[in-house]
Amino acid sequence: MWGSTSEGHLVVANSNKRLRLSVIGTGYLGATHAAAMSSLGFEVVGIDLDKEKISLLSQGRVPFFEPGLDQLLSDEIATGRLTFTDDFAAASECDVHFICVGTPQAKNSLAADMTFVNGALAAIAPVAKSGSLIVGKSTVPVGTAARLAEELASINAGAELAWNPEFLREGFAVEDTLRPNRLVVGVTSDRAEEILREVYADLLALDIPWIRADLPTAELVKVAANSFLATKISFINAMAEICEAADGDVTVLAKAIGFDPRIGNRFLQAGIGFGGGCLPKDIRAFMARADELGARQALEFLREIDSINLRARTRMIELVRADLGDDLKGRKIAILGAAFKPESDDVRDSPALDIAVQLHGAGADVRIHDPKATENAKRRFPALDFTTDLGECLKGSELILHLTEWREYREIDPSAIAHLVAKKNIIDGRNALDRAKWIKAGWHLRALGVAPVLKAIG
């Protein structure tokens, strides 16, 4: 059933929501946010300059792999509430505009590249109607919101700016958007907070914590959270280095310290470290911003967090050399995983792919398997050999490296694949395989952060 508002806009009859929303930028964050807001009953227009993306999204097709998003998107397109366009004029009647564009690492520095955020503000500011709220969700250097608010005031004094950082994880984007563990809003007026409370009313009804902050604090919450997570991972990877040197086992150590509720057991998975489009570039941009603010020393520790993280990749290569010898030319290595983490086809700053590239560079005959990310990986590194056929990847290999912990790798029956390989030899770079199972099946298994001679546990 269709109806129309006094302004003549089509609305779905079962939509009980007053506000109309625009979402600028339709990557992981924006596409998910647009579909999720539509599922809450809002009329939403998603805007992106990439015509190909817009065409796919309009057909209900997600241009990347994100579990559950395909279904949500096509369901919402079918309701008529959710549309996509490359024309900013479509946002002119919207009440709230979410800026969800990327802030990648700049080409020549640690800082964030603000081109897309600046472009989004410049495009939406002149068309935003009076009284509308422009809400940044992108991860930005602290101070950006205040600067954009000033710019907005000079272009369109009737609109207001707020910041509402997003904490979604790839692979859980839908769940994290519709059931976030907190909502943080940086506002400069009660009115802005009221509008955002109306947007998130259904989530507030679920008792999701609501935190009102000023603009800089809201911006900082995001980078502080990601810095903490990165620190936790690098902490356990530093312990992994010590365990290797002292004949210990980092997985047992992580389990033992994780029982202390002040520490907690999440994000203590030692291995080849963190990658992706967020953690690495966010801690670097945070350091760059602290420098500008004259507070360099406060974040000096993040430099070490970054180094420990990158060192985990080098340690993996060293383990390979310890196994196959220094000269890797022509040595057959099967690599399990190209994505930066499971349940994602994202290969941005992927530790797995970085290791594969380095081994390839050293002359090894590398074949890489990934259930979802081979196309993205091939686009980045066309010279590498990718396959979606696990058997094909393993065939004739002298060494397997387990680098992204997809479920299908954990479910491999080590006896069933033994006939495919030249040598029953594997290194677990994610500490996610069932060691006892592999060792019992006669495999030589090593893992990062574990004494070289593995004691089968369990």
Q: Which is nearer to ligand UDX, 226 or 374 (CB)?
A: 226
How many residues touch ligand UDX under the rule CB under 6 A: the total is 19
Q: Which is nearer to ligand UDX, 110 or 168 (CB)?
A: 168
Q: Does 226 bind ligand UDX (CB under 6 A)?
A: yes
Q: Order of strands across the sheet with 210-213?
A: 82-85, 43-47, 20-24, 96-99, 133-136, 160-163, 183-186, 210-213
Q: For strand 425-428 and strand 210-213, is the pairing parallel, antiparallel, or unpaired?
A: unpaired
With tokens 């998130």, the residue in question is: 200
Which of the ranges 273-281, 293-301, 360-368, 450-458 carries the binding residues for ligand UDX, by CB under 6 A? 273-281
How far apart (Å, rounded) are the C-alpha atoms in residues 449 and 274?
Answer: 15
For Cα atoms 437, 439, 440, give the angle at the middle one, nearest 5 degrees: 65
The residue annotated as part of the active site, out of 100, 243, 278, 393, is 278
Find the shortest distance in angstroms from Cβ 455 to ligand UDX: 22
Q: Does 275 bind ligand UDX (CB under 6 A)?
A: yes
Report the residue from 276, 371, 414, 429 that binds ligand UDX according to the rule CB under 6 A.
Answer: 276
What three-state secondary structure class fits 95? coil
Which of the ranges 51-59, 120-128, 275-283, 284-292 carries the binding residues for ligand UDX, by CB under 6 A? 275-283
Torsion of the alpha carbons at 206, 212, 218 and 220, rounded to the nearest 10 = -90
Q: Which is nearer to ligand UDX, 20 or 341 (CB)?
A: 341
For Cα atoms 231, 233, 238, give the angle at the middle one, nearest 5 degrees: 90
How far apart (Å, rounded) are the C-alpha atoms in residues 401 and 346?
Answer: 19
Write out the E strands in 284-437.
332-336, 365-369, 385-387, 399-402, 425-428
Binders of ligand UDX in range 387-446 (CB under 6 A):
none
Q: Which is nearer to ligand UDX, 60 or 276 (CB)?
A: 276
Binders of ligand UDX in range 60-79 (CB under 6 A):
none
Binders of ligand UDX in range 83-102 (CB under 6 A):
none
Report the residue from 99, 195, 229, 288 that binds ligand UDX according to the rule CB under 6 A.
Answer: 229
Report the residue from 69, 196, 268, 412 that binds ligand UDX according to the rule CB under 6 A.
Answer: 268
- What DSSP line would sit under 233-247, residue for residue? HHHHHHHHHHHHHHT
Find the shortest distance in angstroms from Cβ 45 to ligand UDX: 24
Find the shortest distance in angstroms from Cβ 351 to ligand UDX: 6
Q: Does 279 bind ligand UDX (CB under 6 A)?
A: yes
Find the shortest distance in angstroms from Cβ 150 to ligand UDX: 27
Query: What phi, psi does 365 have (nearest 5°)?
Result: -90, 95
Neighbour tally for 182: CB within 10 Å? 12
Query: What length does the chain have?
Result: 458
How far apart (Å, rounded) are the C-alpha atoms in residues 424 and 139?
Answer: 44
Nearest Cα to Cα of residue 402 among 319, 344, 321 = 319
How far apart (Å, rounded) are the C-alpha atoms in residues 321 and 75?
Answer: 51
With tokens 């350091």, the residue in question is: 287
What does the radius of gyration of the chain's CA atoms come to, in whole angstroms?
A: 24
Q: Which is nearer to ligand UDX, 54 or 352 (CB)?
A: 352
Which of the ranges 45-53, 183-191, 265-273, 415-423 carries the binding residues for ligand UDX, by CB under 6 A? 265-273
Q: Does 251 bind ligand UDX (CB under 6 A)?
A: no
Binders of ligand UDX in range 150-209 (CB under 6 A):
167-170
Report the residue from 22, 83, 234, 269 that binds ligand UDX according to the rule CB under 6 A.
Answer: 269
Find the shortest distance in angstroms from Cβ 261 to ligand UDX: 17
Structural tokens at position 107:
């080409």
100 counts as catalytic: no
How far apart (Å, rounded) are the C-alpha atoms in residues 456 and 300?
Answer: 39
Q: Does 341 bind ligand UDX (CB under 6 A)?
A: yes
Q: Does 278 bind ligand UDX (CB under 6 A)?
A: yes
Residues that bind ligand UDX (CB under 6 A): 167-170, 226, 229, 233, 267-269, 271, 273-276, 278-279, 340-341
User: Active-site residues: which are they?
Assistant: 278
